[in-house]
Amino acid sequence: MGRPLQAPDLDTRELILKRAISLFARAGFAGVSMRDIAAAAGITPAALYHHFANKQALHLEAMRHAYEQRADARLAALAPEGSPEERLERFVARIVEDLHTNSDLRLLMQREYLDGDEQRLRLLVEQVFRKQFDALMALAESLGPQYDPHLLVISIFGLVMYHFETTAIRRLLPGYRAEHDNPTVIAQHVVHLILHGVARTQ
């Protein structure tokens, strides 16, 4: 059994996770070594292994750390107060703001989707994403029987994520306006699409 972490150890662990998040976000799991992370944190590889047994354990903890920084706020947005539509608006606004202000989180998620490593993805689902997904499924079910809850949750994330993933090219396309980068505008657009589609209003 390992010894309890003291304050200096906690500070070092936090620094390791911060550096690991940045490296994994930009180079992916395969593109980063434990030696790279140790160097970025200013410690020896041996010191790094004192905190994390291997790269897989460090990567999972980095993902959890990045995702959970504002997880309480996202779950609070899904709390049962208000109508299902109001809860959807709160959650979409929260996740859009998080992705707008935290590029590392966005890049980490994209990297995992692209890598497609099933073992890592299973761990991430069970240990990082599952609680929020279950809460979203419950919200989707409350929005109405016309929705497939699973597809609706995936569509919410798809609509939000793709907006950020295409930022570089959509700014060059006809019709782009600076307001399209405003998190409030993005969130309102996504919620309207989810609830009303593109049907003409009479």
Domain hosting residue 27, numbered range: 7-66
Shared domain check, 126 and 42: no
pLDDT at 51: 94
- In this prediction, residue 35 has a pLDDT band, given cuts at 50, 70 and 90, of very high
Shared domain check, 119 and 30: no
pLDDT at 9: 61
Shared domain check, 57 and 151: no
User: Is residue 1 in a domain?
Assistant: no
The predicted-structure confidence for 74-124, as pLDDT tens digits, reads as follows: 888 998 889 999 999 999 999 999 999 988 988 988 888 888 888 888 988
| Better pLDDT: 11 or 202 | 11
The pLDDT > 90 percentage for the chain reads: 64
pLDDT at 80: 87
Q: Which amino acid is at 57?
A: A
pTM higher than the cut 0.85: no
Shared domain check, 83 and 54: no
Instruction: Look at residue 154 and tell me whether its pLDDT is greater than 60.
Output: yes
Burial of 23 (0-12, 13-18, 19+ CB in 10 A): buried
Shared domain check, 153 and 98: yes
Pick the range with the lowest mean pLDDT from 28-37, 63-72, 138-147: 63-72
Average pLDDT over residues 169-197: 95
Average pLDDT over residues 129-155: 92
CATH number where 59 lies:
1.10.10.60
User: Is residue 145 in a domain?
Assistant: yes
Indicate the number of domains in the chain.
2
SS3 string, the chain, reads CCCCCCHHHHHHHHHHHHHHHHHHHHHCCCCCCHHHHHHHHCCCHHHHHHHCCCHHHHHHHHHHHHHHCCHHHHHHHCCCCCCHHHHHHHHHHHHHHHHHHCHHHHHHHHHHHHHCCHHHHHHHHHHHHHHHHHHHHHHHHHHCCCCCHHHHHHHHHHHHHHHHHCHHHHCCCCCCCHHHHCHHHHHHHHHHHHHHCCCCCC
User: Is residue 2 in a domain?
Assistant: no
CATH number where 146 lies:
1.10.357
Average pLDDT over residues 152-181: 94
Shared domain check, 152 and 88: yes
Instruction: Look at residue 199 and tell me whether its pLDDT is greater than 80.
Output: no
pLDDT at 128: 84
The predicted-structure confidence for 50-78, as pLDDT tens digits, reads as follows: 999 999 999 999 998 988 878 888 888 99
Shared domain check, 164 and 126: yes
Cα(110)–Cα(167) distance, integer angstroms: 14
Shared domain check, 83 and 171: yes
Shared domain check, 77 and 177: yes
